[in-house]
Chain A
Amino acid sequence: MDIEDLVEIAEKERASRKKHVIRCCLAAGCMASDSKGVKEALDKAVQEAGLQDQVEVRGVGCMKLCCQGPLVQVDTHESGATVQVGDDNQGPLYLKVTPESAPSLIATLTGGQTSLQRGNPKAPFFTEQAPIVLANSGIVDPERIESYIAAEGYQALHDVLREMTPKEVVDTMIASGLRGRGGAGYPTGLKWATVAKTPSQQKYIICNGDEGDPGAFMDRSVLESDPHCVLEGMAIAAYAVGANQGFIYVRAEYPLAISRLQTAIKQAKKLGLLGSGIFESPFTFNIDLRIGAGAFVCGEETALMASVEGLRGSPRPRPPFPAESGLWSWPTLINNVETFANVAPIMRKGAEWFASIGTEKCKGTKVFALAGKITNTGLIEVPMGTPLRKIVEVLGGGAPDGGRIKAVQTGGPSGGCIAAEELDTPVDYDSLAKLGSIMGSGGMIVMDEATQMVDVARFFMEFCMDESCGKCVPCRTGTVQMHSLLKKILAREATARDLQKLEELCDMVRHTSLCGLGQTAPNPILSTLRFFRNEYTALLKDDVHNGRNKNHPAPEPAPAPAAGPATGS
């Protein structure tokens, strides 16, 4: 394989394009509403209408507006017209398509009518997005490498291998300002540079696809919609740091992502885009899959590596960091799915281009999974620094049925709830941390007025309690005690003393736990206490020990401080 072969595949793929391309979403969300049946019915309808020469029904990845699935969009191009990348997304978009309605949808191509509900591709939900990671999502066929190559795929890998030194690749990453998309936001270029500079005869690359936050599905969608983009990013990273073996760690709960990755790896190997002597260079790189057994803690990097090694997935103290001593004690670069998905676009379009998007300290875009009490549930990708209000109200369409938004939960169980009055906050790592939440991997759960915040905190604490690995004492026992105190408050059996105990525990668990799971487990409590303390105090009962009534407080200052401790540092 060399560049001519790659260009030839791309041109052949573009030339074989038919007049109508009907894109049918085959990501897990739409599949759950039988989009597979829709695709089969569409194929059959095309056959019956005798339109095989003019129509291609293409199974694609996530088309983003998940709440209206199964989604089908029709692109029409005059035959012979040159098709440019990015020409798609123009035609009519059909919502909630059923297999029964497939023939009427095909009939519209020949002037017929359909009663199917039409979506607006020019709605802010679509036009306000700035896709980089999701650029191919919903457009290319994730199960055909040719489709990805036609969208300029693997060109960046060629250019990197043939025209750049590893150091130049690392420097480009540093210049781009990309920060880790797994949640902590560590500068990616810096991490690469550390691994690249650590002398070692063996190094590894790991892609962390153990997305476990409730309500988050960004990584799953990327893997299901554009697996080759992640493979290409990993190969570039491997070249930059000097590794020749990569692992993708995916949860067993993502069977579709696993099967698409397996297909993608097989296809890339067949074309010589993975394996030895890639693009006729001396560079060798292989990727294997490792399937997680469903433990949330395995998303923590040291626990993940233990799991890849076949050990019990429990974290270990850092330092040493994986960059120095990781998988089987060799230097290891570990990045999130979305981070790797950003790499090829950065290499293709340059660091300056990427650095021009976003804010001063946070470059590029971020994918969010919008869920909860919001009109447009689905996947969005917006520039860093986009105000939360814009995400929720303009893209998300606000709360359904005219409800009022009360809070937005970001960052999953490690994150926090941001009150509606703070909605003008720009979404980036630092602003969210200031509010006691975190960016996290990108889950965003919108809550309306009916939501009881103490119960939200209890839900997340129950999650952390169940998912604690049990290794360190504060997290194993602290989460149990915090959960039981929250239950006591919800049952209206707790006193101000219990609330104080809860706050004390939050502080202790946060500062003494071994890994990130424990250190951030109190965040849902701390952030709800910060914005909705009155909901906690309203549930307290009188403290019989000091004979005080919450409705008639003693003249002394209230037993608990008025404002919760600031979270994040």
Chain B
Amino acid sequence: MAAKTLTIDGKHVSVDESATILDAAVDAGIYIPTLCHLDGVYDVGACRLCLVEVAGSSKLLPACTTKVSEGMEIQTDTERLRQYRRITLEQLFAERNHVCSVCVANGHCELQTLAYRQGMDHVRYDYRFPQWEVDSTHSLFGLDHNRCILCTRCVRVCWHIEGAGTLNVSGRGAQARIITDLNQPWGTSDTCTKCGKCVMACPTGALFYKGATVGEMERDRTKLEFIVTAREKKQWIAD
């Protein structure tokens, strides 16, 4: 295993050559905002919040999917990036119906936390107020499209950790949405194993345990970590 040396925000970092910029930053204790990234599943580079500036590259690069290289000089927190991140978050809030005060994930929501952290205090764009339904046909879980940000974490854990392949994305653009099986009610799904990994993975209140009310929806990711560690490192250890 060869190591690569690079600088992130002026700090010298040495990491394995297979690491991504995000891995290197986490290793060095440097914060890069992420939303679609989830430890244990492959990255898709979709939320564009982890974009960083790399010297010599005219394009902004997603930290989660870009591999490190020797001598890379990375800036993670410039004025330009902060502005883009704020617009991205504002866009997400304007896109569907995110009403924190009545949301099951209030106080435990990654989108909300990010907005606080990036200093987003209001949304300058017109709210779209789209009509979305809630699928509450499942015996244990609910799916509220109004709160979905299409990060596809749930799809990825369903296919690549659980291996059930129940969840998927249908439609395109603003009409894209998470579906179960071939767009059938979740409760009628033959493939769903009711494992709940999708609910654990969800960053917002879109997927929730039935019975949870405002602010009660806390995620327990230790089960996901346990399985991923077991699979990747062949170690069956739990905290």
- From A467, A473, A501, A504, B92 is in contact (CB under 8 Å) with A473
Q: Do A512 and B169 contact each other (CB < 8 Å), given the known contacts A316-B44, A471-B44, A481-B125?
A: no
Q: How far is the CA of A514 from the CA of B176 in the complex (A)?
A: 16
Closest to B176 in A: A470
Establish whether residues B48 and A473, one from each chain, have CB atoms under 8 Å apart when the complex forms: yes
By a beta-carbon cutoff of 8 Å, the part of chain B in contact with chain A is 44-49, 51, 58-60, 62, 65-67, 83-84, 87-88, 91-92, 94-95, 124-126, 128, 149-150, 152, 168-169, 171-176
Q: How far is the CA of A156 from the CA of B146 in the complex (A)?
A: 59
Establish whether residues A501 and B48, one from each chain, have CB atoms under 8 Å apart when the complex forms: no
Q: Is A477 an interface residue (CB 8 A)?
A: yes
Q: How far is the CA of A547 from the CA of B173 in the complex (A)?
A: 38
Q: How far is the CA of A395 from the CA of B196 in the complex (A)?
A: 65
Q: How far is the CA of A235 from the CA of B52 in the complex (A)?
A: 41
Establish whether residues A473 and B91, one from each chain, have CB atoms under 8 Å apart when the complex forms: yes
Establish whether residues B124 and A501, one from each chain, have CB atoms under 8 Å apart when the complex forms: yes
Q: How far is the CA of A355 from the CA of B140 in the complex (A)?
A: 67
Nearest CB on A from B70, distance (A):
16
Interfacial chain A residues near B46, Cβ < 8 Å: 471-473, 514
Establish whether residues B94 and A477, one from each chain, have CB atoms under 8 Å apart when the complex forms: yes
Q: Do A469 and B124 contact each other (CB < 8 Å), given the known contacts A317-B45, A477-B95, A505-B87?
A: no
A481-B126, A504-B87 known, 7 other contacts, Cβ within 8 Å = A297-B172, A312-B168, A469-B173, A473-B46, A476-B174, A480-B95, A511-B59
Closest to A466 in B: B173
Nearest CB on B from A121, distance (A):
45
Secondary structure class of chain A's binding surface, majority of residues: helix
Interfacial chain B residues near A465, Cβ < 8 Å: 173-174
Q: Is A410 an interface residue (CB 8 A)?
A: no
Q: How far is the CA of A297 from the CA of B91 in the complex (A)?
A: 21
Interfacial chain B residues near A469, Cβ < 8 Å: 172-173, 176
Interfacial chain B residues near A512, Cβ < 8 Å: 48, 51, 60, 84, 88
Q: How far is the CA of A472 from the CA of B60 in the complex (A)?
A: 14
18 A-B residue pairs with CB within 8 Å: A317-B62, A317-B66, A470-B172, A470-B175, A472-B48, A473-B91, A473-B92, A476-B173, A477-B91, A477-B94, A477-B95, A480-B174, A504-B87, A508-B83, A512-B48, A512-B51, A512-B60, A513-B48
Q: How far is the CA of A469 from the CA of B174 in the complex (A)?
A: 8
- From B91, B168, B171, A474 is in contact (CB under 8 Å) with B91
Interfacial chain B residues near A480, Cβ < 8 Å: 95, 128, 173-174
Establish whether residues B150 and A470, one from each chain, have CB atoms under 8 Å apart when the complex forms: yes
Interfacial chain A residues near B94, Cβ < 8 Å: 477, 481
Q: Is A57 an interface residue (CB 8 A)?
A: no
**4 shortest A-B CB distances, which residue pairs?**
A470-B176, A477-B91, A468-B173, A317-B45
Establish whether residues A508 and B87, one from each chain, have CB atoms under 8 Å apart when the complex forms: yes
Interfacial chain A residues near B169, Cβ < 8 Å: 312, 470
Per-position binary interface string of chain A over residues 302-318, scored 1 when its CB falls under 8 Å from any chain B CB and 0 otherwise: 00000000001000110
Nearest CB on A from B115, distance (A):
13
Q: Is A528 an interface residue (CB 8 A)?
A: no
Q: Is A479 an interface residue (CB 8 A)?
A: yes
Establish whether residues B126 and A473, one from each chain, have CB atoms under 8 Å apart when the complex forms: no
Q: How far is the CA of A561 from the CA of B55 in the complex (A)?
A: 29
Establish whether residues B45 and A316, one from each chain, have CB atoms under 8 Å apart when the complex forms: yes
Q: Which residues of A from 477 to 500 have beta carbons under 8 Å from B?
A: 477-481, 484
Q: Is A117 an interface residue (CB 8 A)?
A: no
Interfacial chain B residues near A297, Cβ < 8 Å: 172
Nearest CB on B from A412, distance (A):
17
Interfacial chain A residues near B126, Cβ < 8 Å: 481, 484
Establish whether residues A472 and B172, one from each chain, have CB atoms under 8 Å apart when the complex forms: no
Closest to B171 in A: A470
- From A312, A479, A508, A569, B173 is in contact (CB under 8 Å) with A479
Q: How far is the CA of A551 from the CA of B74 in the complex (A)?
A: 47
Of B59, B149, B174, most A-chain CB atoms within 10 Å = B174
Q: Is A295 an interface residue (CB 8 A)?
A: yes
Q: How far is the CA of A529 from the CA of B150 in the complex (A)?
A: 32
Nearest CB on B from A497, distance (A):
9
Q: How far is the CA of A70 from the CA of B152 in the complex (A)?
A: 50
Closest to B51 in A: A512
Interfacial chain B residues near A467, Cβ < 8 Å: 172-173
Interfacial chain B residues near A481, Cβ < 8 Å: 91, 94, 125-126
Q: How far is the CA of A477 from the CA of B49 in the complex (A)?
A: 14
Nearest CB on B from A301, distance (A):
16
Nearest CB on A from B46, distance (A):
5
Interfacial chain A residues near B92, Cβ < 8 Å: 473, 477
Q: How far is the CA of A473 from the CA of B95 in the complex (A)?
A: 10
Q: How far is the CA of A531 from the CA of B60 in the complex (A)?
A: 28
